[in-house]
Structure 1
Amino acid sequence: MELSSEALRSIASETAVSAAQVTSVLKLALVEECTIPFITRYRKEVTGNLDEVVIAKILDSYEVFQETTKRREYILDTIKKMELLTPELEKNIKAAKTIQELEDLYAPYKSKKKTKGQAAVEAGLAPLAELILAATLPWSKIQEEATKFLKPEHKVTTPEEALEGARAILIEKIAHHAEAKEKLRGHFWSEALFVTHKRKDADKVEDCQKYKDYFEFSQKISELKLEKNAHRFMAIRRGMSVNVLSAQATFPKEKACAVLGQFFISKTCHSTVRPILDAIIEKAFTLYIDPSLDLEVKTELKKVADEFAIEIFGKNLKNLLLQPYLGPKTVMGVDPGIRTGCKIAVVDLTGKFLFDYVLYPDRNPDESAKIIDALCEKFQIHHIAIGNGTHGRETLQFIEESIPSVKAGTVHATLVNEAGASVYSASEIAREEFPDKDATVRGAISIARRFQDPLAELVKIDPKSIGVGQYQHDVNQVKLKKSLQNVVESCVNFVGVDLNTASAPLLSFISGIGPGMAKSIVKYREEKGAFKERQELLKIGRFTQKIFQQAAGFLRIYNGKNPLDSTFIHPETYPVLEEWAKEKDITIKTLAGDPKLISQFAADTRIRAKLGDFTHLDIVKSIQAPVQDPRSTFKSTEFRKDASRIEDLKIGEWYPGIVNNITQFGAFVDIGVKESGLLHVSQIADKFVTNPMDELKVGEEVKVKVLAIDFERKRISLTRKVDSPKPEYQNAPPPGSGKYTPPPKNETAPKNNAFSALKNFKLR
Structure 2
Amino acid sequence: MYPVTQTTEHPSARTCIDTIHSTIAGELGVKTWQVKAAVELLDGGATVPFVARYRKEATGTLDDAQLRELDERLRYLRDLRDRRRAVLEAIDGQGMLTAELRTAIDAAETKSALEDLYLPFKSKRRTKAQTARAAGLEPLADALVRNPKLDPQREAGKYLSQEHLIGDPADALAGARAILTERAGQDVRLVTELRGRLWRQGRLRAQVKPGQEAAGAKFKDYFDFAQPLQSLPSHRVLALLRGEKEGVLALDVMEADPRDPEALSTARARYEGAVARSLRIDERVLRSEHQPADAWLAQTVRLAWRSRLITRFAGDLRARLFLAAEEAAVRVFAANLRDVLLTAPAGNRCTLGLDPGLRTGVKVAVVDGTGKVVATDTIYPHAPARKWADALASLTRLARENAVELIAIGNGTASRETDKLAGELIAELNRLNPARTVARLVVSEAGASVYSASALASAELPDLDVSLRGAVSIARRLQDPLAELVKIEPKSIGVGQYQHDLTPKMLDRSLDAVVEDCVNAVGVDANTASPALLARVAGVGTLLSENIVAHRNVHGPFAKRSDLLKVPRLGAKAYEQCAGFLRISGGAEPLDRTSIHPEAYGVARKILAAAGASRNDVVVSSGAVAALEAQEFTDEAFGLPTVRDIMTELVKPGRDPRPQFATAAFAEGIDKISDLDVGMVLEGTVSNVAAFGAFVDIGVHQDGLIHVSAMANRFVADPHEVVKSGQVVRVKVLDVDPGRKRISLTLRLDQERS
TM-score range, shorter chain: 0.7 to 0.9
How many aligned positions are there? 718
**Paired residue for 1:384, among 371, 386, 407?**
407
Amino acid at match of 1:21: Q
Q: Which residue of 1 aligns with 2:77?
A: 65
Change (3 A) 1:150 1:370: closer
The CA deviation string for residues 391-444 of structure 1, in whole angstroms up to 9 with x for no partner, is 242033112210148852434222141332333323332222113312342122
Instruction: Give the 3-state SS of the residue equivalent to 1:502 in structure 2.
Output: coil
Q: Which residue of 2 aligns with 1:397?
A: 423
CA contact (8 A) 1:500 1:525 kept: yes
The question of 1:248 aligning with 2:252 is answered yes
* Range 696-705 or range 509-518, more displaced: 696-705
The question of 1:215 aligning with 2:223 is answered yes
CA distance in structure 2 between the partners assigned to 1:688 and 1:92 by the alignment: 39
CA contact (8 A) 2:113 2:316 kept: no
* Range 159-168 or range 633-642, more displaced: 159-168
The CA deviation string for residues 698-732 of structure 1, in whole angstroms up to 9 with x for no partner, is 112222233333333333233344465659xxxxx
CA distance in structure 2 between the partners assigned to 1:287 and 1:308 by the alignment: 32
How far 1:369 moved relative to its partner? 6.0
Amino acid at match of 1:451: L
Q: Which residue of 2 aligns with 1:697?
A: 724
CA distance in structure 1 between the partners assigned to 2:626 and 2:460 by the alignment: 47
The question of 1:502 aligning with 2:517 is answered no
CA distance in structure 2 between the partners assigned to 1:68 and 1:637 by the alignment: 49
Change (3 A) 1:62 1:418: closer
CA distance in structure 2 between the partners assigned to 1:193 and 1:94 by the alignment: 28
**Paired residue for 2:272, among 235, 252, 257?**
257
Q: Which residue of 2 aligns with 1:118?
A: 130
CA contact (8 A) 1:656 1:703 kept: yes
After superposition, where does 1:70-149 map in structure 2 within 5 Å? 70-85=82-97, 89-90=101-102, 92-94=104-106, 96-133=108-145, 135=146, 137-140=147-150
Higher relative contact order (CA 8 A, sep 6+): 1
Q: List runs of 5+ in structure 2 lacking aligned partners.
A: 1-6, 8-12, 256-263
Amino acid at match of 2:81: T
After superposition, where does 1:199-214 map in structure 2 within 5 Å? 199-203=209-213, 206=215, 208-214=216-222
Q: Which residue of 1 aligns with 2:190?
A: 180
Q: Which residue of 2 aligns with 1:345?
A: 365
Instruction: Give the 3-state SS of the residue equivalent to 1:647 in structure 2.
Output: helix
The question of 1:22 aligning with 2:35 is answered yes
Amino acid at match of 2:438: H
* Range 461-470 or range 260-269, more displaced: 260-269
* Range 47-56 or range 401-410, more displaced: 401-410
CA contact (8 A) 1:373 1:404 kept: no
**Paired residue for 1:559, among 586, 596, 617?**
586
Instruction: Give the 3-state SS of the residue equivalent to 1:652 in structure 2.
Output: coil
The question of 1:239 aligning with 2:249 is answered no
How far 1:142 moved relative to its partner? 8.4
CA distance in structure 2 between the partners assigned to 1:636 and 1:77 by the alignment: 62
The CA deviation string for residues 63-109 of structure 1, in whole angstroms up to 9 with x for no partner, is 12211122122223323443444566455544544434432332222
How far 1:147 moved relative to its partner? 6.6
The question of 1:36 aligning with 2:44 is answered no
Change (3 A) 1:363 1:478: closer
**Paired residue for 2:542, among 508, 515, 518?**
515
The question of 1:418 aligning with 2:444 is answered yes
How far 1:131 moved relative to its partner? 4.1
How far 1:588 moved relative to its partner? 4.0
Q: Which residue of 2 aligns with 1:550?
A: 577
CA distance in structure 1 between the partners assigned to 2:389 and 2:469 by the alignment: 26
The CA deviation string for residues 677-710 of structure 1, in whole angstroms up to 9 with x for no partner, is 2222333344444432232221122222333333
The CA deviation string for residues 110-149 of structure 1, in whole angstroms up to 9 with x for no partner, is 112222211011123334434444x2x4532888876765
Amino acid at match of 1:213: D
Q: Which residue of 1 aligns with 2:487?
A: 460
Change (3 A) 1:623 1:588: farther
CA distance in structure 1 between the partners assigned to 2:117 and 2:378 by the alignment: 69
**Paired residue for 2:321, among 301, 305, 328?**
301
After superposition, where does 1:583-622 map in structure 2 within 5 Å? 588-590=615-617, 592-593=619-620, 598=625, 602-603=629-630, 605-607=632-634, 610-622=637-649
Amino acid at match of 1:444: A
**Paired residue for 2:23, among 3, 10, 31?**
10
CA contact (8 A) 1:175 1:285 kept: no
* Range 538-547 or range 119-128, more displaced: 119-128
CA contact (8 A) 1:416 1:447 kept: no
CA distance in structure 1 between the partners assigned to 2:217 and 2:579 by the alignment: 55
Instruction: Give the 3-state SS of the residue equivalent to 1:168 in structure 2.
Output: helix
The CA deviation string for residues 537-588 of structure 1, in whole angstroms up to 9 with x for no partner, is 1111111111111111011111111111101100111234457778999864
CA contact (8 A) 1:399 1:413 kept: no
How far 1:357 moved relative to its partner? 2.7
CA distance in structure 2 between the partners assigned to 1:296 and 1:303 by the alignment: 11
* Range 693-702 or range 482-491, more displaced: 693-702
CA distance in structure 1 between the partners assigned to 2:148 and 2:696 by the alignment: 72
CA distance in structure 2 between the partners assigned to 1:36 and 1:200 by the alignment: 51
CA distance in structure 2 between the partners assigned to 1:717 and 1:591 by the alignment: 50
The CA deviation string for residues 512-556 of structure 1, in whole angstroms up to 9 with x for no partner, is 111221122112112211111111111111111111111110111
Amino acid at match of 1:386: I
CA distance in structure 1 between the partners assigned to 2:449 and 2:509 by the alignment: 24
* Range 214-223 or range 607-616, more displaced: 607-616
Change (3 A) 1:422 1:708: farther
The question of 1:472 aligning with 2:511 is answered no
CA distance in structure 2 between the partners assigned to 1:630 and 1:561 by the alignment: 25
Q: Which residue of 1 aligns with 2:354?
A: 334
The CA deviation string for residues 468-507 of structure 1, in whole angstroms up to 9 with x for no partner, is 2111111222211111111111111111111111111111
CA contact (8 A) 1:592 1:598 kept: no
- Give the superposed CA RMSD: 3.0
Q: Which residue of 2 aligns with 1:745?
A: none
Amino acid at match of 2:310: D
Change (3 A) 1:543 1:402: same
* Range 82-91 or range 110-119, more displaced: 82-91
